[in-house]
Structure 1
Amino acid sequence: MRSLVTGGAGFIGSHLVERLLADGEHVTVLDDLSTGRSRNLDHLIGRADVELRRGSVTDPAAVRQAMDGADRVYHLAAAVGVRLIVDSPLSSMRTNIHGTEMVLEAAHQSGAEVLLASTSEVYGKNTSDLLHEDADRVLGSPLVARWSYSAAKGLDEALAHAYWNELSLPVTIVRLFNTVGPRQSDQYGMVLPRLVGQALRGEALTVYGDGRQTRCFSYVSDVVEAMVALAGEPGAHGSAYNLGGAEEISMLDLARRILAVTGSPSPVDLVPYNLAYGPGFEDMRRRVPDNSRAHALIGYRPSTPLDTVIARVAEHLLDPRSAPSAAVT
């Protein structure tokens, strides 16, 4: 099996690449390193079963070349993170929309299967007890940058479904809910590594808003296992699958758990959204996944406890080997 992983130098992508290599696959990585990090793949440089290519999914030639010979494509390349979306909405939309179109078309031309990584952001402000895959999308104004990411990823899913429905492209969609773990950067607004880093440095943990907004965090290894299983399941084609954590927790309680796990004496400070992201920022009060569809098809059940996740993120941040080094060429 030969697989292409777009965004393979990213947090989730690099874990996926390792998982595929462990299965004996040949893996090609395409990443422009705009948000991915070369150090995530340093330990793979020189292996005969992995090819590292620096390039953008918005470049048709780069996508076609990386796709050559691939049986399956895991499309993870995207502009991600609240901070990046708010600060650079235009480039983010271009990457997320045009990049996905380039990948889908190249896969159609080459005959490769596709697994498209989408996001729980597509549900917007829907605060249902359990968000199932057919739940309504509740979005704010298209003039608010926060919702551009949700709109773009929703369009990505629509494109993928159209390729499956009209052109018979084998494509499966996964919606990821706050995936966390080692190698995740806090640079673009990812809450768990940001808070863990603050705790380890003895700084105040900055929780935005009133801290009562809730999320369900899922460990990257649990998610990667499910992605590989779904990619290999023909019955998954043409559908979307939630992949999220099992424990709902408020951001204030998350900060307290991090303090307990790390033993940090840091205080917790509440920071208004307008100071963190600027005027007009909107957030979701609640986001809880219904994982029953993925469980029914592949037996998906998130199993890594949150305290274990926090400890592993802290261990990674304290490891001097996580410092930058060689680049993907």
Structure 2
Amino acid sequence: MKKVLITGAAGFIGSHLCDRFIKEGWYVIGVDNFLSGNPENLEHLSSNQNFEFIERDIITGLNYAGHLDLILHFACPASPVDYLNFPIETLMVDSVGTSHVLNLAKEKKSRYIFASTSEVYGDPQIHPQPESYRGNVNPVGPRSVYDEAKRFSEALSMAYYREYGLDVRIVRIFNTYGPRMKLEDGRVVPNFIFQALKGMDLTVYGDGSQTRSFCYVDDLVEGIVLVAEQEEIDYRVLNLGNPDEYKIIDFAQIIIEKTGSNSKIIFKPLPRDDPKMRKPDITKAVECLQWKPEISLDEGIRRTIEFFQSEIEDHEIEDQD
């Protein structure tokens, strides 16, 4: 049986990857230290014979006794709330932690997939952003703990490719949403849905003219699986995201409409270095993988609202107890 090790397995995307690879017939080893991951995301796999969990902080090292066909390195706080609360840990997991994961991949002769981010493009001056764009990043701003950590991990991964011939594949993930995001995640989709469902004002930063594109998690996972299982490739870096672009002010109105909320929109100052535009050029993914997002924003938001409604109800019951 093919084996895959997934760091950050208890995270939003990591837990969906665990489910998908098990469904595809893989034996999955999940690794997480729960700094930002949620143990509840993996509870349903606790009795699955094709799932093994290792609680570990990969900054301290990473070993595995058996063979590994594939490693997915997804360990890292990904939301602004988390990486600003844990700046040192964020930098360390995508530097020291990445080196440990790469050494394990080298030892096991595993294929290695690194979860990078659209944040490596910073506040882009090219729109949409192709893989060839080198970015516009502030290396000493508050967001740099995440941006530069990912950029360093990309550089280190490519050094292992050039030096050791390691089969390295880097996916730059654009805004992704869906079930298992945390209630107070800090990113725009959970923020707006949570606020709308609770009857709170929706917080828009700046004037709301900044744009984002939103990819439903199932579409993203499909793209990652295709990257992982493709035998012959002519790329090392690939954008994965939905190219449909929305102004934040318009997206806030969509959430109010979909939730049936009476919430109003309020405006606050734009955070430092917040990107004005964000849209992936997925030409390469379409050509190399024959992949493009299939789930509409309408359907994806419906599923996500249902998840958040259930989460809020569960928390309210717990509070009453």
Q: How would you bin the TM-score normalised by the shorter chain? A: over 0.9
Which residue does 1:32 correspond to in 2? 33
Highest relative contact order (Cα 8 Å, sep 6+), 1 or 2?
1
Q: Deviations over 1:210-253 (max 9, x none)?
A: 11110111111001011011111133376100001121001111
Identity %: 35
| Cα pair distance change 1:194/1:310, threshold 3 Å | same
Q: 1:178 aligns with which of 175, 180, 187?
A: 175
TM-score (norm 1): 0.91
Q: Which amino acid aligns with 2:67?
A: G
Quote the RMSD (CA, aligned, Å): 1.7
Which residue does 1:110 correspond to in 2? 108
- Distance (whole Å) between structure 1 residues aligned to residue 208 and residue 29 of structure 2: 41
Structure 2: unaligned runs, 5 residues or longer: 316-321
Q: 2:245 aligns with which of 248, 256, 265?
A: 248
Which residue does 1:311 correspond to in 2? 302
Is the aligned partner of 1:293 residue 2:293?
A: no
Q: Deviations over 1:60-101 (max 9, x none)?
A: 1xx213x73221011111121122233332221012211111
Q: Which amino acid aligns with 1:300?
A: W
Is the aligned partner of 1:198 residue 2:189?
A: no
Contact persistence 2:185–2:191 (CA under 8 A) = no
Which residue does 2:206 correspond to in 1? 209
Which residue does 2:318 correspond to in 1? none
Q: Deviations over 1:103-149 (max 9, x none)?
A: 00111011111111100000011132221101121112x33121231
Q: Which amino acid aligns with 1:53?
A: I
| Cα pair distance change 1:318/1:113, threshold 3 Å | same
Q: How does 1:37-186 map to 2 (within 5 A)?
A: 37-60=38-61, 63-65=62-64, 68-140=66-138, 142-186=139-183
Contact persistence 1:126–1:136 (CA under 8 A) = no
- Distance (whole Å) between structure 2 residues aligned to residue 321 and residue 73 of structure 1: 34
Aligned length, in residue pairs: 314
| Cα pair distance change 1:260/1:188, threshold 3 Å | closer
- Distance (whole Å) between structure 2 residues aligned to residue 127 and residue 157 of structure 1: 21
Which residue does 2:232 correspond to in 1? 235
Equivalent residue of 1:29, what SS?
strand
Structure 1: unaligned runs, 5 residues or longer: 275-280, 325-329
Q: Deviations over 1:38-66 (max 9, x none)?
A: 11111111111100111112121xx213x
Equivalent residue of 2:63, what SS?
helix
| Cα pair distance change 1:186/1:178, threshold 3 Å | farther
Q: Which amino acid aligns with 2:218?
A: S
